[in-house]
Copies of this chain bind each other. A is one copy, B any other.
Amino acid sequence: MKIREQFTCPLEMTHDIVKGKWKTIILYSLKDGRLSLSELQKKIEGITQKMLLEQLRELREYGLVEKETTEGYPLHVEYFLGDKRGKMLIEAIKILQLVGVDYMVEHGMTEILDKKGIRYK
């Protein structure tokens, strides 16, 4: 993905961030601290390594995620939320999560919530 350089409104800009199928989920997965690539992949059901890396790169280009590599062997890489907008976005994503939970409860999809240990009411 190429970072755009023109937007007609701020939401169009943010949309570039959240439109991808995985970006909000990745950010949400990083809300409690640093994770390596493989930890992220374990945490995010169904994502392929290709998509994970691709989305992480784009999130880094926007400064929403940062990455730190500790030298040595084996190579260890950690991903974590970027300071400013990364943490702003998390607040929005937490609400998106609540909206999703609310919808799922109202439509009888509580099985998945139970399975994942997500609280609702």
Contact = CB atoms under 8 A, between A and B. Distances in A.
Interface of A: 6-15, 17-19, 21, 24-25, 28, 45-46, 62, 84-85, 88-89, 91-93, 95-104, 109, 112-113, 116, 118
Contacts of A6: 109
A104 B7 contact: yes
Given A14-B103, A18-B18, 11 more contacts: A10-B97, A10-B98, A11-B28, A11-B97, A14-B100, A15-B18, A15-B21, A19-B21, A85-B103, A88-B102, A92-B92
A45 B11 CA distance: 12
Nearest to A107: B5
Contacts of A113: 10
20 contacts: A7-B100, A9-B25, A9-B45, A10-B97, A10-B98, A10-B99, A10-B100, A11-B96, A11-B100, A12-B25, A13-B104, A14-B97, A14-B100, A17-B99, A84-B102, A85-B103, A88-B98, A91-B95, A92-B93, A95-B95
